[in-house]
């Protein structure tokens, strides 16, 4: 007596059909494992490329001196992340009153309204290796829309143009 495997409808499944079905299941299992491995490889390649792009972007930003402002110190000084380090930047040719001097609070508030939390472009001076006597970078600072922060602070606060 011959035995048959039955399908979901209770009808016999012929041996060649059963063999093909088993082969497809096995082949699919192998393919799934291969696809999973390929997915892992693709993910690794993706992350390697993403790291390379981020490095290239950082190099371009460093080259162009495009940096995030991390803190406004007063009317003419900010802190930025520059080449991986926090640096104080003094606006070139600007003197703003200190916070405890007349107009100092207003100058600091105006400066904050311009640059706090923003990304800016620095044009660092060649004078004195680009630093003042306190070690701060001396720079012309520009918003990414092209506005010159140094000039805006002088135009709109008690700050004056000054040679460092």
Q: pLDDT tens digits for the chain (164 residues)?
A: 555 566 667 776 666 666 677 767 766 666 777 778 888 888 899 899 999 988 888 777 666 799 999 999 999 999 999 988 999 999 999 999 999 999 999 999 999 999 999 999 999 988 778 899 999 999 999 999 999 999 999 999 999 997 55
In sequence order, what are the residues at sequence separation of 6 or more whose Cβ sits closer than 8 angstroms to the Cβ of residue 33? Answer: none
Domain boundary among the residues 21, 43, 62 is at 62
Q: Mark whether 154 and 77 lie in a shared domain.
A: yes
Catalytic residue (choose from 36, 63, 64, 90): 90
- Is 40 one of the catalytic residues? no
Q: Mark whether 43 and 87 lie in a shared domain.
A: no
User: Whole-angstrom Cα distance, residue 124 to residue 116?
Assistant: 19
Q: Mark whether 76 and 129 lie in a shared domain.
A: yes
- Is 90 one of the catalytic residues? yes
Residue 47 included in any domain? yes
Convert 33-65 to b/e letters by CB count within 10 Å (16 or more is b): eeeeeeeeeeeeeeeeeeeeeeeeeeeebeeeb
What total number of domains does the chain contain?
Answer: 2
- Is 2 one of the catalytic residues? no
Residue 120 included in any domain? yes
Global pTM value: 0.62
Question: Which residue range(s) make up the domain with 31?
Answer: 10-62
Q: Mark whether 48 and 77 lie in a shared domain.
A: no
Decide if 96 contacts 111 (C-beta within 8 A).
yes
Structure tokens at 18: 């059963």
Catalytic residue (choose from 38, 63, 86, 98): 98
């Amino acid at each position: 007596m011959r035995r048959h495997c039955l399908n979901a409808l209770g009808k016999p499944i012929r041996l060649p059909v059963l063999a093909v079905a088993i082969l497809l299941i096995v082949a699919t299992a192998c393919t799934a494992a291969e696809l999973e491995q390929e997915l892992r490889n693709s993910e690794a390649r993706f992350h390697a490329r993403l790291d390379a792009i981020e490095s290239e972007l950082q190099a371009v930003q460093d080259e162009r001196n495009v940096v995030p402002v991390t803190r406004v110190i007063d009317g003419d000084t900010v802190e930025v992340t520059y080449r991986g380090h926090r640096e104080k930047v003094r606006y070139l040719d600007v003197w703003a009153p200190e916070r405890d001097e007349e107009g100092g609070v207003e100058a600091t508030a105006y400066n904050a309204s311009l640059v706090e939390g923003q990304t800016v472009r620095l044009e660092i001076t060649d004078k004195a290796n680009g630093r003042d006597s306190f070690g701060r970078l001396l720079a012309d600072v520009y918003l990414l829309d092209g506005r010159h922060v140094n000039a805006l602070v002088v135009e709109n606060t008690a700050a004056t143009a000054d040679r460092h």
